Amino acid sequence: MASFGIEGIRYFPNLRATGLVTKAEDLTYVFNICNGLDRELRNAGHTRRFYWANRDCWEIDLHSSGLGGADDDWADDVDLFFILTHGNNDAGNAILAYDIKINEWIGNSGNWRLGNVNCEWLLIYGCKTVDLANPLSFWDVFQRLHQLCGAWDNMWDGVTTDEVGEDVGDNLTDGDTVVTSWIDGVSDWWVDNHPIVIAAERESTWNGGAPLWASTTMNRDHLWGHGTTVGDIFPASKFWLSWRWAEG
């Protein structure tokens, strides 16, 4: 079964005080969502390795250990890592807000390298983490990471989206693929949460630019124990990135 780690940041008073993001407002249903995912995964027999909140969530947790961070101990030390915080995008890179500076207030996917230790799935409930026009900017993040689940525009925090953690967790453990679990799980088909999933793919499915979709990571990958989990794609075998998104 899978190991997982969860981080959620609801309050941002210290970030606001720095002046870097003066209107980084507090969020509302952060821990409803985090707890929901945590509960569904644990109920299905998966192992929570860690669950950190607010100022225990650090930029170095996702930052590659090889580039000065500590992801070998946290995000890359589990099969599935979920984080909920404010997000945005800078020149194609995801940026995430933290309420403590260890080592930075703002994380940047330019220094994420996941899968070289363990991580197969990175899930981010935060806005605009993926630039839909430029998903290839995540190329180096995929160091045997299977899939990255994020958003290509704003996400929602509200009374009707506070169950998305349970929904994603239910989907993952009911046998849906990871891509379906995310896109269906964070969508209520009312407000537009802009879900997107990026996957690493092999040359054998590229087919000269007419992908053999049925054999892709995107089509086949499940959480451990709930269907087929595809094998890791080492950086030398990574040939293309696929992405799947919802738009309304």
Partner 1 sequence: MAALLDKLVAKVCDHRDSVPVFRIQQRSLDEMEGFAIRLAGSLAGEDAGDAKSHVARGQSRSNILLAEGVRASVFHASGAIVAKAALAPMEHLIGDRSDKAALTQSVVAAAKRLGLDRVVGAGEQLLFERLWQIKAAGMDGSGVRSPEVVCRAVGAFRRYLHDLPVWGRASAFVELAGENRIGAVGLDWRPIVAEPFDRVKVIAPEQAARAVLGDLNGRLPGGSFGEEDFDVGLFSLGYLSMPKRHEQSVFAPVYVAQLERRGWSSTNYIIIVGGSETAYESYCRKTSSPPRDAAKPKPGDKPAKPQGGHGWDPMAKPKLCHD
The angle subtended at Cα 147 by Cα 146 and Cα 151, nearest 5°, is: 170
- Return d(Cα 6, Cα 35) in angstroms, integer: 9
- Return d(Cα 30, Cα 9) in angstroms, integer: 7
Nearest approach, Cβ of 122 to partner 1 (angstroms)?
18
The residue (of 80 and 241) whose beta carbon lies closer to partner 1 is 241
Nearest approach, Cβ of 67 to partner 1 (angstroms)?
15
The angle subtended at Cα 78 by Cα 72 and Cα 79, nearest 5°, is: 130
The residue (of 116 and 161) whose beta carbon lies closer to partner 1 is 161
The residue (of 50 and 232) whose beta carbon lies closer to partner 1 is 50
Alpha-carbon dihedral sign for residues 117, 118, 124, 129: positive
The residue (of 53 and 225) whose beta carbon lies closer to partner 1 is 53
Nearest approach, Cβ of 20 to partner 1 (angstroms)?
9
Cβ distance 9 to 53 under 8 Å?
Answer: yes
Number of Cα atoms under 13 Å in the Cβ half of residue 179:
18
Nearest approach, Cβ of 116 to partner 1 (angstroms)?
17
